[in-house]
């Protein structure tokens, strides 16, 4: 006799053969104990295995089937995710095609899923296209270092337990972010205090400062983000609206994340009450982890008004309840005494001062070998042609600073200081680009000298910066490249801008800004100079 569920109902035919699949569900998906077809399709009333598995969806949640699986209940979420940067990769497609002076494309052709076979698109196919949600998941396993794609499954399955169905969960673990976000800007690595280094670092006298990831990358250990040290996970800050791309701003507006530092530390937004909770987010109310006062109020994010349901407000204190692990943390408020130069620093983002370090790569050579073969992440097979990247001059330390289109000063890192060689190009391309970054290495504020007297912070590169007879001079530590700037620079004391037009609109300090920054604090001893980093 087929097993019954805890409610006493007979299960569908699939559970009769796959009894463990009826166990392990969270409350929201408890229907899966007896109903498999809403997610998996198939024919549970069939008489043979072959007929029963006709039309079966083994991995519901892949974006290739999410409309008819997860989308049956979560249509708005699926639609948002399919158009999100994590799925389309539109930014990296546009910047790569711009590098090759190729047209940006429109609609589907401007996304990773719509790549063609131009030199830029083949580079993306071979080196970049694995890290987007349209990549289908095809095995029942989890590996934080190598996992890519999977649509809804990429985030919402944290475990494949033996003897039970994987539990779909909104408590997304940091390991689910790591596979993609430990590369490029390396946010997952930074947050945990891990930084990639080059092979020569293995010769350091003290090997305890080094380690290797499971994929073989050599890393060094640096101070982790203060929030990581407090036991906070990624989802403690990043809201579902921000991560999944819900209610994204209009084209041309700031597409930044939903959450900002001030949303917790200096929140002056209107307080939300239960009777004014957004209808689309009412499911969050039952997740509130603390006892509610009669007139309980909640913080909301400044950008989209998202309720911060896990932050408890009391008379004189605010507490953050961790979403992954039990426990609450006091939220230190931003105070004027702790930020005495508020007016002078009005343009600075929080991360400009509080980012302890950021990964920076100041040398890259990318070459195409038409006689080689390499895996194509879209075709799912090895195809002719091979792109190879070589890098050098990797540096993990306090980042340079730059200016965004809305006149905010933020950390920047080299997106590329790069030579590009391809048989289809008339000549080797050289590009020098820096891009804004939120390093996720929050710590104590930088010292005044680390910005006002740092050639690296100002975008000049490492070297000797000094003032003699009332005149600032800079001697770079690295060789100048073909565009006349040192290998790790973004600008010069003459205010020279980077080569090419920055696609994200960020820029280095101009001449006036450079000298105002340098002269904002007392002159250094003329007999001393900033050491070469």
Q: What's the chain's average pLDDT?
A: 88
pLDDT in tens, 90-118: 989 999 999 899 999 999 999 999 999 99
> Does residue 433 contact residue 361 with C-beta atoms inside 8 Å?
no
Domain check: are 383 and 481 in the same one? yes
Residue 136, pLDDT above cutoff 50? yes
Domain check: are 468 and 504 in the same one? yes
Domain check: are 357 and 504 in the same one? yes
pLDDT of residue 500: 47
Domain check: are 319 and 434 in the same one? no
Distance CA 235, CA 233 (A): 6
Summarize the confidence of residues 44-59 as an average pLDDT.
88
Q: Is residue 443 part of a domain?
A: yes
pLDDT in tens, 492-502: 998 865 444 44
Q: Which helix (H) or strand (E) holds 95?
A: helix 90-99
CA 116 to chain centre: 26
Domain check: are 466 and 490 in the same one? yes
Q: Is residue 128 part of a domain?
A: no
Q: Which two tokens stand for residue 346?
A: 């009005």
Domain check: are 370 and 462 in the same one? yes
Domain check: are 365 and 326 in the same one? no
Domain check: are 293 and 194 in the same one? no
pLDDT of residue 33: 84
pLDDT of residue 533: 40
Domain check: are 369 and 455 in the same one? yes
pLDDT of residue 247: 65
Q: Is residue 483 part of a domain?
A: yes
Domain check: are 271 and 211 in the same one? no
Q: Which of 175, 173, 216 is nearest to 196 (CA)?
A: 216
What burial class does residue 500 get, using C-beta atoms within 10 Å of its C-beta: 0-12 exposed, 13-18 middle, 19+ buried? Answer: middle
pLDDT of residue 347: 94
Domain that holds residue 290: 235-249+267-330
Of 136-150, 295-309, 407-421, the least confident: 136-150
Of 62-71, 89-98, 268-277, the least confident: 268-277
pLDDT of residue 504: 59
Q: Is residue 359 part of a domain?
A: yes
Q: Is residue 260 part of a domain?
A: no
Q: Is residue 245 part of a domain?
A: yes
pLDDT higher at 320 or 335 = 320
**CA dist list (Å): 180 to 221, 248, 255, 285:** 20, 21, 20, 31
Residue 28, pLDDT above cutoff 50? yes
Domain check: are 325 and 360 in the same one? no
Q: Is residue 190 part of a domain?
A: yes
Query: Per the structure, how many domains does the chain have?
Result: 3
From 299, 330, 361, give the residue that closes a domain: 330
| Paired sense of beta strands 381-397 and 401-403, if any | unpaired
Residues of the chain with pLDDT > 90, as a percent, come to 61
Residue 206: partners with Cβ closer than 8 Å, 6 or more residues away: none
Q: Which of 401, 284, 299, 393 is nearest to 351 (CA)?
A: 401
Domain check: are 193 and 317 in the same one? no
Summarize the confidence of residues 292-301 as an average pLDDT.
92
Q: Is residue 354 part of a domain?
A: yes
């Amino acid at each position: 006799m087929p097993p019954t569920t805890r409610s006493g109902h007979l299960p569908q035919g699939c559970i009769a053969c796959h009894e463990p699949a009826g166990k392990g569900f969270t409350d929201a998906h408890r229907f899966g104990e007896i109903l498999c077809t809403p997610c998996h399709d198939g024919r549970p009333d069939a008489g043979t295995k072959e007929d029963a598995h006709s039309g079966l969806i083994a991995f519901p949640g892949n974006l290739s089937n999410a409309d008819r699986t997860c989308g049956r209940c979560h249509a708005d979420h699926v639609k948002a995710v399919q158009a999100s940067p994590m799925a389309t990769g539109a930014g990296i497609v546009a910047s790569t095609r711009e590098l090759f002076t190729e047209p940006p494309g429109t609609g589907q052709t401007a996304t990773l899923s719509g790549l063609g076979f131009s030199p830029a698109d083949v580079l993306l196919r071979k080196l970049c296209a694995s890290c987007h949600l349209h990549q289908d998941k095809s095995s029942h396993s989890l590996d934080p270092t190598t996992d890519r794609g999977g649509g809804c499954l990429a985030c919402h399955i944290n475990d494949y337990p033996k003897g039970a169905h994987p539990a779909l969960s909104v408590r997304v673990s940091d390991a689910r972010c790591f596979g993609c976000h430990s590369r490029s800007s390396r946010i997952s690595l930074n947050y945990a205090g891990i930084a990639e280094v080059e092979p020569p670092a293995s010769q350091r006298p003290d090997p305890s400062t080094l380690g290797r990831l499971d994929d073989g990358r050599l890393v060094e250990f640096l101070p982790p983000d203060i929030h990581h040290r407090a036991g906070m996970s990624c989802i403690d800050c990043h809201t579902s609206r921000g991560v999944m791309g819900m209610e994204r701003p209009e084209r041309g507006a700031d597409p930044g994340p939903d959450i900002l530092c001030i949303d917790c530390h200096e929140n002056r937004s209107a307080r939300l009450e239960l009777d004014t909770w957004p209808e689309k987010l009412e499911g969050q109310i039952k997740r509130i982890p603390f006892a509610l006062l009669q007139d309980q109020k909640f913080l909301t994010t400044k950008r989209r008004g998202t309720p911060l349901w896990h932050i408890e407000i009391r008379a004189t204190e605010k507490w953050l309840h961790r979403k992954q692990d039990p426990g609450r943390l006091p939220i230190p408020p931003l105070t004027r005494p702790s930020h005495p130069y508020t007016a002078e620093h009005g343009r600075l983002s929080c991360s400009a001062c509080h980012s302890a370090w950021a990964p920076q790569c100041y040398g890259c050579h990318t070459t195409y070998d038409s006689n080689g073969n390499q895996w194509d992440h879209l075709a799912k097979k090895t195809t002719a042609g091979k792109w190879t990247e070589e890098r050098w001059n990797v540096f993990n330390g306090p980042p340079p600073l730059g200016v965004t289109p809305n006149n905010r000063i933020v950390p920047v890192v080299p997106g590329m200081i790069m030579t590009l060689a391809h048989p289809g190009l008339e000549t080797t391309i050289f590009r020098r680009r820096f891009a804004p970054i939120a390093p996720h290495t929050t710590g104590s504020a930088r010292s005044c000298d680390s910005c006002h007297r740092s050639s690296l912070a100002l975008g000049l590169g490492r070297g000797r910066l000094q003032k003699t007879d009332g005149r600032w001079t800079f001697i770079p530590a690295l060789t100048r490249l073909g565009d006349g700037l040192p290998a790790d620079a973004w600008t010069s004391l003459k205010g020279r801008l980077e080569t090419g037009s920055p696609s994200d609109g960020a820029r280095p300090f101009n001449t006036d800004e450079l000298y105002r920054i340098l002269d904002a604090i007392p002159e250094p001893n003329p007999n001393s100079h900033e050491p070469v980093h």
